[in-house]
Structure 1
Amino acid sequence: MAAFGGTMIPSSVVLAGSRDGTDPVAVHAGVSDKALIAFGEETMLERVIMALRAAGIGHVSVAANSPAVLAEAERHGAMPFPAAAGPSASTANALEELGAPLIVTTGDHALLNSEWIRDFVARVPDGADVAVLLARREAIEVAAPGSRRTYLRFADGDWSGCNLFLLATPRAIDAVRLWQAVERDRKQPWRIVRRLGVRLLLRYLTRRLTLVEAITALGQRAGVSATVVECADGLAAVDVDKPSDLNFVRAFLGRADDGTARLDDVNA
């Protein structure tokens, strides 16, 4: 099992729920669910489960609402877990059921690497309730040229999330509750601004807010200690949100198989 501040990380949850409607990536790949997309002999979900296991996390659960995805989870020894209405609610349920510390990732993290997980957990400072892994634009553009990511622009650079979180203590539930509130308010932006604070938003919009300041402030609003860990490998920010991401991952894995490192001609 992975260690955090001398404490073992016994559990993880993979968020693999299906949103309402048809997933364009699943349609593009010709499968019923995105998590079931195959890379060679492995499904995307299998790759995620195996990475968590290789990191030393013994108990892997998968939150999904598709019977096919739940069956795939069971086939690889993961505990099927009913997905809630959204990823934040599924995370809250998993934290209540499995307890802290808990690693959270997603079922579309096709390139997830056990080394990223171990390094992330090892670098979370003592006293943190919640930690999030992010990568800088520069690292992503070096490791994954052609991959198109969404960036958060701060005073200290542009960052992209790596879909890897540590809910280190039971207090992390307060951060998940803030996430749930923001998720509920996504169609009413003024509510989100009110929750997060106009001053914080204005500092972000004018590029006067650093990433650490933002995460710290959000943690304070939730009543928890939140921290950021930077991932040096930009590939950690690559997930499969759209067909072009799938094309990129397939090209990358194909080149990894034949030992070719350069991806400059991959048009994702």
Structure 2
Amino acid sequence: MPHHGTTPQGPAPFSTVILAGSRHGAAEPLARFGQTTHKALLPVGGVPMLERVVSALEAVPGAGKPLVSIEDPSALAFLEGRVTPVQACPTPAESAAVAVRLAGTPCLLTTADHALLQPEWVAGFIAKSRATGADITAAVALRETVTRDVPTTKRTFIRLSDAAFSGCNLFWLANQNALNVIDLWEVLQKDRKHPLRMAQRLGWGTLARALTRTLSVEALENRIEALTGAHARLIMMDDGRAAVDVDKVTDWHLAEKLLATPESRTP
């Protein structure tokens, strides 16, 4: 039966993890642009984007203190008492695997560059995720939703036979089965320079259908379950701004513009 996310005392609690790792530290282009020691500390709308994410999560009922994965935990001194630092690993997948296991499930996983994150987006995503009964869910925004709400943005869209969507850097890990998907991500990341090896792991049929755009959303979800034993679902977000992360200077300019409108301001 799906877990509806409430207890007699209120919303069911869950842990939260923020991936704030950066391979290049102060040499990261966005860190240089903002003259900060780390990309996650780049001010967006006058507030470090990591702090924006923390503030958004703090406003979600049931959310636990965020565990923040970062190379230099001392960089989080300004958030003392509000977050739990953990040492980042060389890759995002490894960092996620370590951090989620430390935090425990159920867990919401997001990233430090999600500068526009809104508490209601998170709460809505979790409610939809719990209603599916899935082990793991990922938030995505359909291409038409993104172009409607953020017509000037340039996002990368994954094109399947029945939908084109962009990731929203929000993941719900309902239970320990979800960690199998993180482990698959970790393996694929290690194989990223070996396309044949990746294709063998994913299955040649799945790869062929993806390349010819005959792979459906349901078929993708079923393939993930076949590979990991975890029931996975994609959750469509209602607001296209959820697909905007600050990964480039052009993203920063866009986020600044969007935050200048009242409906985009986080608490």
Q: Do both share a fold (TM > 0.5)? A: yes
How far apart are 1:65 and its partner, in Å?
0.7
Pairing partner for 1:216 from 212, 222, 225? 222
Q: Is the 8 A contact 1:5 1:126 kept in 2?
A: no
Is the 2:45–2:256 contact (alpha carbons within 8 Å) kept by the matching residues of 1? no
The one-character-per-residue Cα deviations of 1:124-144 (angstroms, maximum 9, x if unpaired) are: 135311110000111101111
Q: Say whether residues 1:62 and 2:62 are aligned partners.
A: no
Give the Cα–Cα distance (whole angstroms) in 2 for the partners of residues 237 and 251 of structure 1.
15
Alignment check: 8 A CA contact 2:73 2:85 kept: no
3-state secondary structure, aligned to 1:193? helix
Matched with 2:96 is 91
SS of match in other structure, 1:215:
helix
**CA RMSD after TM alignment:** 1.9
> Any conservation in 2 of the 1:12–1:60 contact (CA below 8 Å)?
yes
1:59 alignment partner, SS class: coil
Match of 1:140 among 143, 146, 170: 146
**How far did residue 200 of structure 1 move?**
0.3
Q: 1:80 aligns with which of 48, 65, 85?
A: 85
Gaps of 5+ in 1: 261-268
Query: Which position in structure 1 is the counterpart of 2:34?
Result: 29
Cα distance in 1 between the residues matched to 2:114 and 2:3: 22
Whether 2:202 is the aligned partner of 1:186: answer: no
Give the TM-score normalised by the residue count of structure 1.
0.89
1:156 aligns with 2:155: no
Compare 185-194 and 100-109 and name the one that shifted more: 185-194
Q: Where has structure 1 moved over 3 Å in runs of 4 or more?
A: none
Cα 1:216–1:136 shift into 2, 3 Å: same
Correspondence for 2:127 among 122, 125, 128: 122
Deviations 1:72-120 (A, max 9, x none): 4426x11111111211111111222121101000000000011111111
Matched AA of 1:227: R
| Between 59-68 and 112-121, the greater mean CA deviation after superposition | 59-68
1:16 paired with 2:20, answer: yes
Give me the whole-angstrom Cα distance separating, in 2, the residues matched to 1:40 and 1:175: 35
1:44 equivalent among 45, 49, 61: 49
State percent identity of aligned pairs: 38
Most deviating of 231-240 and 90-99:
90-99
**Cα distance in structure 1, aligned partners of 2:157 and 2:132:** 28
Q: Is there any run of 5+ residues in structure 2 with no aligned partner, and where?
A: 7-11
Are residues 1:104 and 2:104 paired?
A: no
Distance in 2 (alpha carbons) for counterparts of 1:195 and 1:127: 26
User: In structure 1, how many angstroms separate the alpha carbons of the residues matched to 2:182 and 2:76?
Assistant: 24
Q: Provide, for residues 149-187 of structure 1, a one-character-per-residue CA deviation record: whole Å limited to 9, x for no partner.
A: 111011112110000001110111111110000011111
- The amino acid that maps onto 1:6 is G
Q: Which of residues 228, 231, 239 in structure 1 aligns to 2:234?
A: 228
Is the 1:212–1:228 Cα contact (8 Å) retained in structure 2?
A: no
| Alpha-carbon shift at residue 32 of structure 1 (Å) | 1.7
Q: CA deviation at 1:4?
A: 5.0
Native 8 Å contact 1:14 1:106 kept in 2: yes
Contact 1:74 1:80 in 2 (8 A): no
The corresponding residue for 2:9 is: none
Partners in 2 of 1:155 and 1:115 — Cα distance? Answer: 30
Q: How many residues align?
A: 255
Shift of 1:54: 0.8
The equivalent of 2:5 in structure 1 is 6
Q: Offset of 1:68 from its aligned partner?
A: 4.9
